[in-house]
Amino acid sequence: MNIDNVFKNNETWIKDKLAIEPDYFEKLGKGQNPELLYIGCSDSRVTAEDLMGLGPGEVFVHRNIANMVVGTDANGMSVVNYAVTHLKVNHVVVCGHYACGGVKAAMESADLGVLNGWLRNIRDVYRMHKDELNAIKCEEKKYDRLVELNVQEQCVNLIKTAAVQKAYRERGLKVHGWVFDVHTGKLIDLKIDFDKYLKDIMEIYHLD
Ligand SMILES: [Zn+2]
């Protein structure tokens, strides 16, 4: 890869945008008003905007290894807070993907140093769903299922936050769990029953 190509690509991109909309960057410079917060994996194959067909200004993005929502992660929590409370997005998406290296690493027992603490959060998901996962004999299917359950638990982690609870009450904000299939390019809605989870866990996690 020639890194100089990036700047050439950028020039072509500017030309392409201006050809369609001459005041494109003037508008972009005025500010952002995204409807959606996307929390996805850092994996280079899973680009947030591209796979949804969205452009600059349309989605607020946070990516980390294995699309985690961790209550003690100041970075992730700041993104959620800013997007939900200040940008007032109406949808929050956690998007996992099959063949996720982070989820795979969590299923193995190698000591990965500084990564251990992060992967432990995925191992916690495995522990919570141990019976279901251990009943799956095919390793590949088990791996896919952990990807899906991880998305589901990260959605639950979002519901535990005061910002999401408040926005749900005030304007009906919704949390969605999706999986991107890197083998087909398809985006799959896990159809997580947000209202059910809210009801189920509110007894414990409710914040005024
Ligand atoms: Zn991944």
pLDDT tens by residue, 34-51: 999 999 999 999 999 999
Question: Choosing from 97, 144, 155, 176, which is the catalytic residue?
Answer: 97
pLDDT of 201 reads 83
Distance, CA of 69 to CA of 92 (rounded, Å): 12
pLDDT of 101 reads 97
Residue 103 Cα, ligand 1 centroid: separation in angstroms? 7
pTM (two decimals): 0.94
pLDDT of 207 reads 86
Query: In which residue ranges of the chain is pLDDT below 70?
Result: none
Distance, CA of 147 to CA of 137 (rounded, Å): 16
pLDDT of 203 reads 83
What's the angle, vertex CA 83, arms to CA 81 and CA 87, rounded to 5?
Answer: 120
Residue 21 Cα, ligand 1 centroid: separation in angstroms? 35
pLDDT of 202 reads 82
- Is residue 148 within 8 Å of 193, Cβ to Cβ? no
What's the angle, vertex CA 52, arms to CA 72 and CA 69, rounded to 5?
Answer: 10
